[in-house]
Amino acid sequence: MTTPVLKTAQPVRHRNPTAKATSMAYLLFERPNLDEAERFLNDFGLLTVQKKGDTLYLRATDSAPWCYRIGKADKARFVGMGFTVAKREDLAALSRIPGASSIEELDVPGGGEMVRLTDPNGFRIEVVFGRAVIGSTPHRAPLSANHDIATPRVNSTQRPPVMPPEILKLGHVAIEVAEYQKVCAWYTQHLGMIPSDVQVLPDGSPGVSFMRLDLGETPVDHHTLALVQTFRAAYSHSAFEVVDVDAVGMGQRVLRERGWHHAWGIGRHILGSQIFDYWSDPWGAHHEHYCDGDVFTTDVPMGVHPFSAQSMSQWGQAMPASFVKPKLTFDAIKTLVHNLRTVPDVTLQKIKILARSFSK
Domain residue limits at 269:
23-132+165-357
- Residue 195: the pLDDT is 98
* Residue 112 in domain: yes
Q: Is 318 inside a domain boundary?
A: yes
What are the φ/ψ torsions at residue 105 (nearest 5 degrees)? Answer: -80, 145
pLDDT of the chain, 360 residues: tens digit per residue: 577 899 999 999 999 999 999 999 999 999 999 999 999 999 999 999 999 889 999 999 999 999 999 999 999 999 999 999 999 999 999 999 999 999 999 999 999 999 999 999 999 999 999 999 898 888 999 998 898 889 988 888 888 899 999 999 999 999 999 999 999 999 999 999 999 999 999 999 999 999 999 999 999 999 999 999 999 999 999 999 999 999 999 999 999 999 999 999 999 999 999 999 999 999 999 999 999 999 999 999 999 999 987 788 999 988 888 888 888 788 899 999 999 999 999 999 898 888 777 665
E strand residue ranges, the chain: 23-31, 47-52, 55-59, 68-72, 77-84, 104-105, 113-118, 124-129, 169-177, 194-200, 206-212, 220-221, 225-229, 234-241, 261-268, 275-280, 286-291, 295-296, 303-306, 315-316
Structurally, the chain folds into a number of domains equal to 1
Domain assignment present for residue 14? The answer is: no
63-105: per-residue pLDDT in tens? 999 999 999 999 999 999 999 999 999 999 999 999 999 999 9
- 240 located within any domain: yes
Residue 69 has what pLDDT?
A: 98
Q: pLDDT per residue over 234-249, tens digit each? A: 999 999 999 999 999 9
Torsion (CA) 74, 80, 83, 88 in degrees, nearest 10? -80
Query: Facing residues of 137 across strands?
Result: none
Question: What is the number of other CB atoms lying within 10 angstroms of the CB of residue 139?
Answer: 17
pLDDT of res. 358: 67
Give domain status of residue 147, yes or no.
Answer: no
Q: Which of 3, 311, 51, 18 is nearest to 193 (CA)?
A: 18
Residue 83 sits at φ, ψ, to 5 deg, of -130, 155
Residue 107 belongs to a domain = yes
Q: Are 113 and 128 in contact (CB under 8 A)?
A: yes
CATH number of 318's domain: 3.10.180.10
**Residue 99 domain-assigned (yes or no):** yes
Residue 144 located in a structural domain: no
How many Å separate Cα 23 from the centre of its chain? 12
Contact (CB, 8 A) for 226 and 219? no
